[in-house]
Amino acid sequence: MTQETENQVKSAFSLNVGEDGIGILTMDVPGETMNTLKMEFVAQVGAVLDEIEANPKVKGVVLISGKESSFVAGADITMLAACQSSNDAETISKGGQDIFQRIEDMRIPFVAAIHGPALGGGLELALACHYRICSDSDKTQLGLPEVQLGLLPGSGGTQRLPKLIGIQQAMKMMLTGGAARAKQALKYGIVDEMVPYSVLLKVAKSYALKAKPNRKPKKLSAINAFLERTPMGRNILFKQARKQTLSKTQGNYPAPMRIIDCIETGVSKGLKKGFEVEARHFGNLVMTPESKALRNIFFATTEMKKETGVVGVAPAKIEKVGVLGGGLMGGGIAFVTATKAGLPVRIKDIRPEGIANAIKYSYDLLIKKVKRRFMRKSEMQKQLALLTGSVDYSGFGNTDVVIEAVFEDVGLKQQMVADIEANCKESTIFASNTSSIPIGQIAAKAARPEQVIGLHYFSPVDKMPLAEVIAHEKTSDLTISTTVDLARKQGKTPIVVKDGAGFYVNRILAPYMNEAANVLLAGEPINQIDKALVKFGFPVGPVKLLDEVGIDVGTKIIPILMAQFGERFKSADAFDKVLADDRKGKKNKRGFYNYTGKKPGKEVDESIYSLLGVTPSSKLSHEQIAERCVLLMLNEAAMCLEEDVIRSPRDGDIGAIFGIGFPPFLGGPFRYMDTLGAKHLVERLEFYKGQLGDKYAPAAILKTMAAEGKTFY
């Protein structure tokens, strides 16, 4: 018998009944580091429940995980890929509902003893128990994140959570997919008690000897009682929830509206009807292209976590990191290195104020967590203690990686390389956070070019999940693997890209932004352009994005791209005129949008039109505007794959989604191109080439794929 077959035969659930009559039901999925719920567990749990019911000595049951650091991380979503129809998926939902309802209907109390993540199906399992006790560990978090996969909680979660903690709080958790830490879970009423991990089992056992609870409705303020407990109030509440959700999702994501529907059905027509609607909606959502795209992203990022930068090359150990430059980027890089990777960071700046600002950046982010009680003050102090600084290279001698975040000037960056080679160990890696300068140029005068690499973060560093790791021709495999490992420890999803102007993310973003400017110069109003792309699925429109990142910063890359790729990257004249008028965007409160008055940054600065010599008049539909801008991004992404700038369509999709907010429900540029079909793409590019010139000339790879009927995946 193989190990895999043995694991499948061995049950994930074991029951041990003590002298006190308390059954300890342990969930421990064989061969896995974390517990996930699988379809075959329905029969296994059913068998254990039969055993409990047949044993009159059992007075109560504690459900606990056999894993050290997690309760149940959710359902195993790989089983959804096997579903051929919405009926198949609905059957999975009903199976979960039935077994959890059976737990709730047991004659004796069930207590969930939660340590570590209880997410998705894991929290739904805990909600079916009569009591929930959780540990006060930082690892403990409770949530229903299914919406992030284009799904809804399908095993009773949409019904039990609102009943337990109130409609509004439950709806917020389900619509955002956000998890509650232990302290929040106690405050919301998800758990009955929060205790140190050392006494978790002992306290849970004491609850198992109590009677099943007769829970009273949660106390609410007068206004919330009206909204949640009267037909008129609920009508207002759900109507408003739908309106706000539609405004946020632009109708691109079906799951949030279905979640609201399930909750409303349960509270207005009863739990039985609520369960029916939940199972039906779950079944339908599993088969939607949006959910399939979001699940593909989940699988891709999970896969990427297991990869090293270069196959078969293990990373070197990193014990200390240096950061050059105490600006916003330097401060953000120092923050994620100290707080996520837990590594000591030495910051160098030419001024003491720069170092102070970089450390204050971390302090400001951490003190918010302390004030919200997400973190103890002692933990904050421990993390801040990892940050030190100097105006010279003292303290840099034992750094393993030095990350440079200084101005975009190739001479300055080459000087930084020379300084690090002179002041650090022979093995120290020099990583440049340049957004546009080819790494080969930065390494041109290096004594050890094999240890020079690009490590491009996105702003703000503490929030943006992507990092581009850029290897030039001479970068060693060890340098690549070590840099990828560091980026991952900093909480980033790294993609390895080939050196060249703009690398991957900024290279595909530039033609998209350029075309938005061309559409503006043709007379389309700014708010129409931005609305069109937000409706398409981007988090923010291109003109607004330029204001946010800084018009001077956003356009700096254009000459570098033109030098390597020629006329197709020629920028619109709009940018020169705007910069000549000292408009840098949000940072100097002068840009395409107005940053004065009661709604700063919300309305267009009308004076921009006369500056550009444009009389705004809407001639194009939202679909036409979006198509013109997005086609250029897709075409450039295809060229990047063709030139081996990215290693795979998967990396290209993750890079675009995590780096510039390409609509996740479309799965990324390459999944989206597969949806459209190469033939259709080439036809549309040729159409615009005829109207607007050679910048729309289809990539050779797309023409080949169209002729051969091929897809990227």
Give the catalytic positions in this structure: 468
Quick check: helix, strand or coil at residue 33? Answer: coil
Determine the Cα angle at 438 with ends 434 and 440, to 5°: 120
Residues 677 and 658 sit within 8 Å (Cβ to Cβ): no
H/E run at residue 291 = helix 289-305
Tokens of 150: 């284009």
Separation of alpha carbons 57 and 234, rounded Å: 45
Q: Which tokens is 667 given?
A: 């799965």
**Distance separating alpha carbons of residues 421 and 431, to the nearest angstrom:** 12
Q: How far apart are CA 340 and CA 343, in angstroms?
A: 8
User: What are phi and psi for residue 81, nearest 5 degrees?
Assistant: -65, -25
SS3 625: helix
How many CB atoms are located within 10 Å of the residue 492 CB?
Answer: 24
Specify the long-range contacts of residues 171-176, CB closer than 8 Å, at least 24 apart.
Answer: 171/241, 171/259, 171/260, 171/263, 173/143, 173/144, 174/144, 174/146, 174/147, 174/259, 174/263, 175/147, 175/241, 175/245, 175/256, 175/259, 175/260, 176/147
Phi-psi region of 709 (alpha: psi -120 to 50; beta: other; left: phi over 0): left
Residue pair 323/346 in contact by the 8 Å Cβ criterion:
yes
How far apart CA 322 and CA 431 sit, in angstroms, is: 10
Backbone region of residue 253 per phi and psi (left: phi > 0; alpha: psi in -120 to 50; beta: other values): beta
